[in-house]
Amino acid sequence: MKLEEVINAALTYLGENDYEAGKDKAQDDKIKLLVRCANIMLTEVAQEYIPLEDECEVSAKDGRFSYEEVPRRVCRIISVKDKDGNNVRFRQRSFSCNVNKDGRLTVEYRYLPETAAIGDDCDIDPSVSEKTLALGVCAEYCMISGMYEQSEGFAERFRQDMRSCVRPSRSVTVKKREWY
Mean pLDDT confidence for 48-65: 93
Secondary structure (DSSP) of 108-124: EEEEEPPPP-TTSBP-S
Interval 103-121 mean pLDDT:
93
pTM score of the predicted model: 0.81
Whole-angstrom CA distances from 113 to 61, 140, 167 are: 27, 18, 22
The DSSP annotation for 58-93 comes to EEEBTTEEEGGGSSSEEEEEEEEE-TTS-B--EEE-
> Region 120-144: what's the mean pLDDT?
94
Task: Kindly report the length of the chain.
Answer: 180
Is the distance from CB of 164 to CB of 132 less than 8 angstroms?
no
Q: Would you say residue 56 lies in a domain?
A: yes
Report pLDDT for 176. Answer: 78
List residues bridging with 112 in a β-sheet.
Answer: 73
135, part of any domain? no
Structural domain count, the chain: 1
177 falls in which pLDDT band (50, 70, 90)? confident
Q: What's residue 180's pLDDT?
A: 62
How confident is the model over 21-39, as a mean pLDDT? 81
pLDDT band at 22 (very low <50, low <70, confident <90, very high): low
Distances (CA, A) of 144 to 29, 32, 46, 96, 168: 13, 13, 21, 34, 33
In sequence order, what are the residues at sequence separation of 6 or more whose Cβ sits closer than 8 angstroms to the Cβ of residue 38? 3, 6, 7, 10, 116, 122, 133, 137
* Residue 69 domain boundaries: 52-112
How many percent of the chain have pLDDT more than 90? 74
Give yes or no for a contact between 10 and 134, defined as CB atoms under 8 angstroms apart: yes
Judge whether 170 lies within some domain: no
Residue 2, pLDDT > 60, answer yes
Q: Is residue 123 predicted with pLDDT exceeding 60?
A: yes
Strand partners, 79: 108
Answer whether residue 145 is part of any domain.
no
By C-alpha distance, which of 111, 151, 141 is closest to 40? 141
CA atoms of 11 and 25, how far apart (whole Å)? 13
